[in-house]
Amino acid sequence: MKSLVLAEKPSVARDVARVLGCKQTTRHYIEGPRYVVTWALGHLVELKMPEDYDRQYKTWRLEDLPIIPKQMGLKVIRQTASQFRAISELAKRKDLGELIIATDAGREGELVARWIIEKIRWQKPIKRLWISSQTDKAIRDGFKQLKPASQYNNLYASAVCRAEADWLIGLNVSRALTTKYNDPLSAGRVQTPTLAMIIEREKAIQAFKPQEYWTITVTIGGLTAVWHRKGEKRLFDQTEAESILKKIFGKNGIVKNIERTTKSESQPLPYDLTELQRDANYRFGFSAKKTANVLQELYERHKLVTYPRTDSRYLTHDIEKTMLERLTAISSAYDAETRHIIKNKGRVLARKVFNDAKVTDHHAIIPTEERLHINDLTADERKLYDLIVRRFLALFYPAYQYERIQADIEVNGETFIINEKQVREIGFRAVTGKDDEAHLAPSMEHWQVGRNLSVASPQIHKKLTEPPQRFSEADLLHRMEKYGLGTPATRADIIEKLLYSGAVDRQNGRLYPTPKGKQLIGLVNEALKSPKLTARWEKELEAIARGAGNPKQFIANIRKQTEQLVQEIKMSEQSYRAHNLTGSRCPECGEFLKEVKGKDGRLLVCSNRECGYRRRKDPKLSNHRCPQCHKKMEIHEGKAGSYFKCRHCNIIEKATKEKSALSKREERMLLKKYSKTDDGFAMNSLAEALKSALKNND
């Protein structure tokens, strides 16, 4: 009997099939002597939509809400139905004796597989492949240690609860807000409290009133000393500041106290997903979503890092024996950093990293044993991989040690403080690159109490208190983690959803609430805005995944909460006005048009949701380049026909037939469209005719 292996993506399925010796390739699966490897395309099955329960729900009406089915049903996603049908047909084969789940080893991957299995009505044994990297060795070892699928039933139950909760609350609240206020308004159990935090920060910024203050500095022994009194370095009285400046002018200072403190900073732990997203945002300006996408490439395509969507920063003890192999794999690009470590047999100095109790589904993100070919990586992949590698290498270096010296100097009754740090052991900072203070000269090394020092350059500095900054994505990820909003795997998508919905805007790396977002938060139920409620739900989901929670009770509470939230919206007397209404009327129904952002520029859409009228506001960019600045030119329609215009140089060119022809990309898309039927089989005669016609036009 053969085993049916279900992977999450075709690319992963191809790797698994190759390792398992499967060589007979078809459109929907790859077969070998012992295994048949097939794949999903992400989700093939999803929860039914309201209109699947009752066709009247296709039209959004406030009076129909809340929509709470007695039993949540599943349906096959239409766009990927052919792949589902293929898996369903495979399931009927009598020579397949078991199914092996090989989707991503996490909550969402479990859901992808289990919903497919439920929908194809698989009745034979099920096993689970659970691996933390996609290397050939990891796949081979994983197939030698397959687990019973029942071991992950609690994880599946947690995934179902999460999906149903998001459906019940997100769909009902969003429909209620949209129908009551006649504008697309999105809310949910995670995105709404996240938006609330952004709004609260904006309120603090707007309410902030800057206050003047003064600081005083002098130069003592070639070092800058700062005035200090009872822990405060600022003076909010200009007269007092000027009085102190006069008092110390021309006076000498006496060293009253010297305090030397030896400190040690232990090696940082490897990354989990959230901290990696935060560091990539700080260092490179990557969005959380971009980091997740680049990381997935490093994991899935290059096989250079372990499972990305982890919430742990620790390693299990069995990983220790693989350290030397991992170091050897990266040594081609990190020879100087790894040479002495490899000679030392890859001995880990940061022993705290090994903690089995702090690893749940997956350990921290570290390099795999796959040999590194650095030139195969894109610039963004190199940046992210370098962060992961250097954090990993820090485990093999000693702690960072330094001495902090603070001198208190009295100048005519006023105290000035000088701080200096002297590095004693650079340790792990030799690889993490944060040794900016490592080469300071020990200026206060021999100072003693009672020493008399000359004071020069007394200065007073006028400053203003500053408001808190708007959140960067790194800041917001930290807040979301602190309050338990979402999981490492979902936080990036939540931020992107807020941006896509128009509730939040990203400017210069900071997140700003839009007028729509500010109004929306005023309409949403108070309970849904609180991070505490959502954090409690996330903890319950984690408990269910561990087998310590009650899925039925969780969903019962969510259903009850959904009814309350919708009822509050129905009874609300709040008002709302779409901030993006224009003065133009829809040519089809006469309602005002709204201006919205689209992928290809700004659009004008009808404010009447049932109308559906939309047109482009900005001219479409062509592939024709400006002869002066070489940027893409806009294409316009005039009385004499089409013409190109450069919005930067104002150069205009008539669009001749040749210039108006399809772009190379459009040609490829057209060929692709007509080269295959819905089932993917070539229509050779039509494709060849089209190809010939396009060639003749060239």
Q: What is the pLDDT of residue 689?
A: 52
Does 277 share its domain with 261? no
User: Domain range spanning residue 391?
Assistant: 273-396
Does 423 share its domain with 286? no
As to burial, measured by CB atoms within 10 angstroms (0-12 exposed, 13-18 middle, 19+ buried), residue 2 is middle
423 closest CA partner among 445, 439, 434, 408 = 439
Question: Does residue 309 lie in a domain region?
Answer: yes
**pLDDT tens, residue by residue, 538-584:** 899 999 999 999 999 999 999 999 999 999 999 999 998 887 888 88
Q: How far apart, in whole angstroms, are the C-alpha atoms of residue 315 and residue 149?
A: 24
**pLDDT tens, residue by residue, 20-46:** 999 999 999 999 999 999 999 989 999
Q: Which uninterrupted H or E stretch holds 623?
A: strand 620-625
Segment among 127-141, 323-337, 662-676 with least mean pLDDT: 662-676
Q: What is the pLDDT of residue 126?
A: 98
Percent of the chain with pLDDT over 70: 92
**pLDDT tens, residue by residue, 59-115:** 999 999 999 999 999 999 999 999 999 999 999 999 999 999 999 999 999 999 999
Does 281 share its domain with 406? no
Does 50 share its domain with 109? yes
**DSSP assignment string, 187-229:** --TTHHHHHHHHHHHHHHHHH----EEEEEEEEETTEEEEEEB
| Residue, of 660 and 582, whose pLDDT is higher | 582
Does 418 share its domain with 460? yes
As to burial, measured by CB atoms within 10 angstroms (0-12 exposed, 13-18 middle, 19+ buried), residue 28 is middle
Contact 112, 147 (CB under 8 A): no
Contact 96, 3 (CB under 8 A): yes
Rounded mean pLDDT, 666-679: 49
Question: Does residue 527 lie in a domain region?
Answer: no
Q: Which of 126, 160, 194 is the last residue of a domain?
A: 160
Does 52 share its domain with 34? yes
And the tokens for 406? 């603070």
Q: What is the pLDDT of residue 599?
A: 61
Q: What is the pLDDT of residue 602?
A: 75
Residue 307 annotated in active site: yes
DSSP3 helix / strand / coil % (the chain, rounded to 5): 40, 25, 35
Q: What is the pLDDT of residue 19?
A: 97
Segment among 429-438, 519-528, 630-639 with least mean pLDDT: 429-438
Rounded mean pLDDT, 129-144: 94
Rounded mean pLDDT, 379-398: 98
Question: Does residue 550 lie in a domain region?
Answer: no
Is the confidence at residue 697, as pLDDT, over 70?
A: no
What's the chain's average pLDDT? 90
Question: Does residue 518 lie in a domain region?
Answer: no
CB proximity list for 35: less than 8 A, separation 6 or greater: 2, 3, 4, 5, 17, 20, 21, 22, 100
Rounded mean pLDDT, 678-687: 42
Grade residue 173 by pLDDT with cuts at 50, 70 and 90: very high
Is the confidence at residue 659, as pLDDT, over 60?
A: no
Question: Does residue 517 lie in a domain region?
Answer: no
Contact 47, 167 (CB under 8 A): yes
Question: Does residue 559 lie in a domain region?
Answer: no
Does 46 share its domain with 72? yes
Does 156 share its domain with 129? yes
Count up the domains in the chain and report the number: 5
Is the confidence at residue 668, as pLDDT, over 70?
A: no
Q: Which of 396, 428, 455 is the last residue of a domain?
A: 396
Highest mean pLDDT out of 355-369, 433-447, 651-665? 355-369
CA distances from residue 59 to 179, 284, 318, 412, 674 in whole angstroms, order as listed:
10, 45, 56, 81, 34
CATH of the domain at 97: 3.40.50.140
Grade residue 679 by pLDDT with cuts at 50, 70 and 90: very low
Q: Catalytic one among 307, 334, 385, 397? A: 307
Contact 619, 645 (CB under 8 A): yes
CATH of the domain at 355: 1.10.290.10
| Residue, of 640 and 227, whose pLDDT is higher | 227
Does 373 share its domain with 439? no
E-only strand ranges, 391-466? 400-411, 414-425, 452-453, 455-464
Does 335 share its domain with 232? no
Does 246 share its domain with 279? no
Does 298 share its domain with 337? yes
The model carries a pTM of: 0.82
Rounded mean pLDDT, 350-379: 94
**pLDDT tens, residue by residue, 184-225:** 899 998 999 999 999 999 999 999 999 999 999 999 988 999
Q: What is the pLDDT of residue 354?
A: 97
Q: What is the pLDDT of residue 254?
A: 96
Pairing of strands 620-625, 74-76: unpaired
Looking at the DSSP assignment, which residues form a beta bridge with residue 95?
none
Question: Does residue 505 lie in a domain region?
Answer: no
Is the confidence at residue 441, as pLDDT, over 90?
A: no
Q: How far apart, in whole angstroms, are the C-alpha atoms of residue 392 and residue 401?
A: 19
Contact 428, 440 (CB under 8 A): no
Is the confidence at residue 662, as pLDDT, over 80?
A: no
Q: How far apart, in whole angstroms, are the C-alpha atoms of residue 692 and residue 531?
A: 60
Question: Does residue 526 lie in a domain region?
Answer: no
Is the confidence at residue 147, as pLDDT, over 90?
A: yes
CB proximity list for 262: less than 8 A, separation 6 or greater: 401, 402, 403, 404, 424
Grade residue 681 by pLDDT with cuts at 50, 70 and 90: very low
Q: Which of 408, 436, 464 is the last residue of a domain?
A: 464
Enumerate the H helices of 483-592 as residue ranges.
491-500, 515-523, 526-529, 531-545, 551-571
